[in-house]
Structure 1
């Protein structure tokens, strides 16, 4: 399941403080398995039910960076969108995401430096009413002047 806003590009000339975009995605066992393969992170807390049951999480959880990658998807596909370059990201993991959870990932424009084409975005992910991740991203936004 994937629910999101239209994809594309919003150039820096059209960005405004408070603009928001989001996506909503169900995290599946397959997502976790594929992320383990791509990242080479095969920690059993993500992949082994028996092992994970005996951890502080009492069951398997998704990789934190899998959840964080949904923020990257919103930034790269929606706000600012295609042509955006990541400059930095801070993240704080607040709660686990489990297979079957539906994650809501949102970014909001909090600061714009038109001269440097830099945009600061407040970011968070939630499962239901629980914030599972929060942070801030700094990106270089596309501009019509450089097309």
Structure 2
């Protein structure tokens, strides 16, 4: 299940403080398995039910960076979108994401530096309205002046 807003680019000239874009995705076992394969992070808390039951999470959880990747998808596909260059990201993981959870990843414009083409973004992921990840990103936004 993937539900998101239109993809494309919002050039820095058209960005506004408070602008928000998001995507909603159900995290599947396959997502977790693929992320483990690509990242080589095969921590059994993500892949082994028996092992994960005996952890503080009492069951398997998705990789934190898989969840953070949904933020990257919003930034790279929607806000600002295609042509955006990631410069930095802070992350705080607040709660686990489990297989089957539906994650809402949201990005909001906090600050725009037109002279440097830099944009500061609030980044967050929620499940049923409860935050599971929060942070801030700094990006270099695309500009019509540099097409």
Regarding TM over 0.5, the answer is yes
SS in 2 for 1:50: helix
Deviation by residue 1:46-102 (Cα, 9 ceiling, x = unmatched)? 000000000000000000000000000000000000000000000000000000000
The answer for the alignment partner of 2:129 in structure 1 is: 129
Per-residue deviation, 1:20: 0.3
State how far apart, in whole Å, the 2-side matches of 1:23 and 1:15 are.
18
Unaligned runs of 5+ in 1: none
- Root-mean-square deviation (Å): 0.3
How far the C-alpha of 1:129 sits from its partner, in A, is 2.2
Q: CA deviation at 1:108?
A: 0.2
Superposed, 1:32-71 pairs within 5 Å as 32-71=32-71
**TM-score, normalising length from structure 2?**
1.00
Moved over 4 A (4+): none
Structure 2 SS opposite 1:9: coil
Alignment partners' CA distance in 1, 2:50 and 2:5? 38
